[in-house]
Amino acid sequence: MRQTDFEGLVYRKLFTLLDEHYDTIKAAKPRVTKNSTGYNIWDVWDRDTQIFDLSKLVVGAQGTLGLTTDIHFRLVRARPHSGLLVLFLKDINRLGEIIPKVLSYSPATFESFDDATLWLSIRFMPSFRKLLGWPKFLHLLFSLIPDGVQLLRGIPKLILMVEFNGETEAEVRQKITALHKELKLKRARYEINGIEEDPTEASSEKFWIMRRQSFNLLRHKVKDKHTAPFIDDLVVRPEYLTEFLPKIRRIINKYHLFATIAGHMGDGNFHIIPLMKLEEKEERAKLLPAMKEVNELVLHYHGSLSGEHNDGLVRGPWLEAMYGQRILKLFRDVKHIMDPDTIFNPHKKALADWDYSFSHIRDHF
């Protein structure tokens, strides 16, 4: 801060700004497990620890505050064994109870995909052969035979994939069995159609293929439509999902959007990427009203409009709706302090404008 150059000026101005509005900034922090919207101003200055860390501001700024020239990563060592406990939910009425119960067992990951994704997997099953090759494709078919029995009980509304990892296969199996045993006792209450143990990486592969590859196949099969991730990456706290998910599906259906819902259940972070023909005016006309309804729904449940993928051109114009004018002004003040000539990645995040953003959405293929 005592430096007389531009760097010293940045530190002095930012410290003054964040300290003067300290309580307002701390209160504005989204109460969700993931958030990449705006600038992370609430974690830069901590009066209790006396730590002032500008790296918290630069990370996630999408190049709007400066350039990063050197990065050092700390990696988490991958455990050698993993497996899944898979839940087939007849309905999602008890999802708010299931999620904390599963999280109490500290899974490595907790993923989901909806019935639309499952139908896509079934519909495009022959296409998996080209993707996987004959040996893996045949293995996939045989491994899915037990799941056919599950489908006879009814198509599940949601499939939950609870992944555990460990140093040995026995350790993974023990974790899966323990959770299975507890969920089995409340199977009727939780409206679970079926529970399947896949305690090895090989046995759980089929679900990862459906979760990760179905939409990718759809993109290649539907030749005249392309991905339009304008309502992607929203976050809503898990306790609201029982109400939230049916409402988001109704909006998708209202605008006749061809989209699946997949997500990270423990975070309440969902990815919805419609396939659209944006060169048609009728399709482009859906973007603003559909996005408005989705965003208003997310904010009604105190969520975030982006958990992982940031604001960019598309979500940046909605920062005021999420944070209000006061916090948006602070975002813009931060931008001006670090980039007074507005040369770093303009028209994104705090300086995004919907008319400018919309004018850059593809209108031809």
Q: Which helix (H) or strand (E) holds 151?
A: helix 145-152
Residue numbers of the domain that contains 114: 81-221
* Same structural domain, 24 and 88: no
Do the Cβ atoms of 115 and 88 come closer than 8 Å? no
Q: What is the mean pLDDT of residues 307-329?
A: 95
Tell me the pLDDT tens digit for each residue of 126-151: 776 666 676 665 555 555 545 555 55
Q: Quote helix, strand, coil % in the chain, to nearest 5.
A: 50, 15, 40
- The CATH number of whichever domain residue 196 belongs to comes to 3.30.70.2190
* Same structural domain, 365 and 311: yes
Tell me the pLDDT tens digit for each residue of 64-122: 999 989 989 999 898 999 999 999 899 999 998 999 999 999 999 999 988 887 777 77
Residue with more model confidence, 191 or 213? 191
* pTM > 0.85: yes or no: yes
Residue with more model confidence, 301 or 259? 301
Helices (H) and strands (E) in the chain, counts: 16, 11
CA dist 316 and 267 (Å) reads: 22
For residue 70, is it within any domain?
no
* Same structural domain, 311 and 180: no
* Same structural domain, 243 and 342: yes
CA dist 183 and 308 (Å) reads: 30
* Same structural domain, 103 and 166: yes
CA dist 167 and 172 (Å) reads: 8
CA dist 351 and 329 (Å) reads: 10
* Same structural domain, 179 and 243: no
For residue 282, is it within any domain?
yes
Strand runs labelled E in 106-191: 109-114, 158-166
* Same structural domain, 40 and 121: no
For residue 68, is it within any domain?
no
* Same structural domain, 90 and 133: yes
For residue 103, is it within any domain?
yes
For residue 310, is it within any domain?
yes
For residue 66, is it within any domain?
no
